[in-house]
Amino acid sequence: MPRIPLLGALLAIIIGTYLLALSIPVMDEDASQYAAMSWEMATSKSFLQVYEQGQDYLDKPPFLFWINSIFMLVLGGHTWVYKLPSLLFLLLGIRATFLLGKQLYNETIAWHSALFLASFQAIFLITNDVRTDTILLSFTVMAIQQLHVYFTRKSITHFFMGCVCVAGAMLTKGPVGLLIPVLALGSDVVLKKQWQFLWRPVYLLGLLLIALLLLPMSIGLYQQFDLHPEKIVNSGLGETQSQVSGLRFYYWTQSFGRLTGESKWNNGAYFSFLFENLLWGLLPFTIFFIAGLGSNIVSFIRQKGKLLPTQEAITTGGFILAYILLGKSKYQLPHYIYVVLPLIAIITAKNFVQVVYTSQTNKLFTILRGIQWGINVILIAVATSLVAFSFPHVWVWVLSIGVLGILVIVYLIAKPIKYSLVAASIVAIVTTNILLSGFFYPNILQYQAGNVVGKFIQQQSIPTQKVIVFQEPFSVRNIHFYAKAPITRVQELPTEIPSYILTGTKGLNVIQQRKIPYQILLTGTTFHITELTAPFLNPATRSSVCEPFYFVKTTATVP
């Protein structure tokens, strides 16, 4: 990338802040599930057939498990190793966003696009709570950027590189990896009436390349499920079914089935759900995205759907069509829209550069600047108050960091330079995430029984085959990753009592009632920390909503 010293320095500071999250334990549910499955794949060397605790797994495509298991084979099964591949892919995605922003506009917008993508609160979240989304958005924006080069320069090399990235996105999260690039680039082609790009013979070769790259996964799905229709597969909703085609599930049911109703996944999400979650996910630049998106839509309407030669529809068209597709799904989670964060970043950057650097006499500039300064200060104030209130024992450090961040922002307000507003915004989001990654997450994760007990099992060299989880009233999914082996979960004590049992109050009562001799090796309290509540955040009421857990040693036979 060309060097703009201040913006480059801000980007480096953001990346440095990501590193704080590498050592934070993985969170239940999804991240801990994927971490355990990656370790299981690394130890079993089963790369074509995917398993979870020895059971057939049919949900996400395998790329996340492939790349993580390879890293684990080389570097070991550590938390930071699980998170590292996603972070490296994010850096590739930031670079591709810069290149796409430069191709569509100019170097200034390109730098701001990369910086804004890196600084979105949603990105800080998914570099910590690692799922498939970081890799998906990176492959997707790389595909769009490479294919855009093909359309503008007719470079066959870039076309095939774009197809490789499409295949990577599909291997990460399914057909959406193909649909988003098609929707984004297709919007531009149609609105510019570049009909010559709607079909070219080379597209057949591109589809063939994508199919070849998907072949290993397809073979694995066919061998694991289509050849064994008698297999009972858990749907993830507490239901099981047989006669399941792995190929149909991957290429149709998991994605399009949520639109047709064929998929049983339905959480009643409404159409505006994803946009509402973007309001916090795009902090600290939410207001500039909303203004930029609104401006683009108004311009499009005024021009009666015609694009000027200097305009593009890749970003706005790609975002709107992707949102319609995802927003109509009967099952939605906030991170589903993160695949188009790079497009959002470019929309935001274009508006920011136009308003802040070229329209300083405009009323809109005055309004947006005032709102942005307020957002920056409020962001730090809220984060500081939250962490200091929830964990008073670190209040001195937390307050010092928060006050320092606000003082820097006040200084930038008093002595404005060209990049003062963007610098203040980065200071705000970096300070917020230093507080979260340095103090908040480490403290709340002490209330996650799975990683606490799993680490204890490893440290004490306790044989995992002699451990069970009995009638746990809490989630302990990440115990498998930290114990480095699947741990059996039971609702009834077996006749031959294992040597070690992790349980809650009810389970301990059963052990006591049956007069089974035991010794408590480890005890504590646990909470489902991905569903935080006010009583948990309040130290005075925290104990009332936490569940006690007990890790006991016993050798006995049920009387």
Q: What are phi and psi of 356, to 5 degrees?
A: -80, -35
User: For 59-73, how does the pLDDT look when each residue is reduced to its tens digit (9 = 90+)?
Assistant: 899 999 999 999 999
CA–CA separation, 428 and 436 (whole Å):
12
Q: How far is CA 327 from the centre of its chain?
A: 18
Compute, in degrees rounded to 10, the torsion defined by CA atoms 488, 493, 499, 503: 70
Residue 22 confidence (pLDDT) above 90: yes
Mean pLDDT of 223-239: 77
Q: What pLDDT, on the 0 to 100 scale, is given for residue 225?
A: 93
Stretch 179-191: mean pLDDT? 95
The reported pLDDT for the residue numbered 529 is 87
Q: Is the pLDDT of residue 237 over 60?
A: no
Looking at the chain, the whole-number percentage of residues with pLDDT higher than 70 is 96
Q: How confident is the model at residue 236 (pLDDT cuts 50, 70, 90)?
A: low
Residue 457 contacts residue 433 (beta carbons within 8 Å): no
pLDDT, position 372:
94
Residue 361: predicted pLDDT: 63
Closest-CA residue to 258 (of 328, 164, 166, 355): 328
Banded model confidence at residue 239, pLDDT cuts 50, 70, 90: low
pLDDT band at 419 (very low <50, low <70, confident <90, very high): confident
- Give the pLDDT of residue 7: 86
Strands, E assignment, 413-527 = 467-470, 488-490, 500-503, 519-526
pLDDT, mean of residues 424-430? 97
* Residue 70: other Cβ atoms inside 10 A: 15
Backbone angles phi, psi at 328, to 5 degrees: -85, -5
52 sits in which H/E element: strand 51-52
* DSSP per-residue codes, 294-316: HHHHHHHHHTTTPPPTT---HHH
DSSP state of 496: B
Confidence label for 238 from pLDDT (cuts 50, 70 and 90): low
**pLDDT attached to residue 1:** 39
Q: Which of 94, 348, 300, 313 is nearest to 183 (CA)?
A: 313
Q: What is the pTM of this model?
A: 0.94
H/E stretch holding 551 reads strand 547-553
Mean pLDDT rounded to a whole number for the chain: 92
Contact 547, 536 (CB under 8 A): no
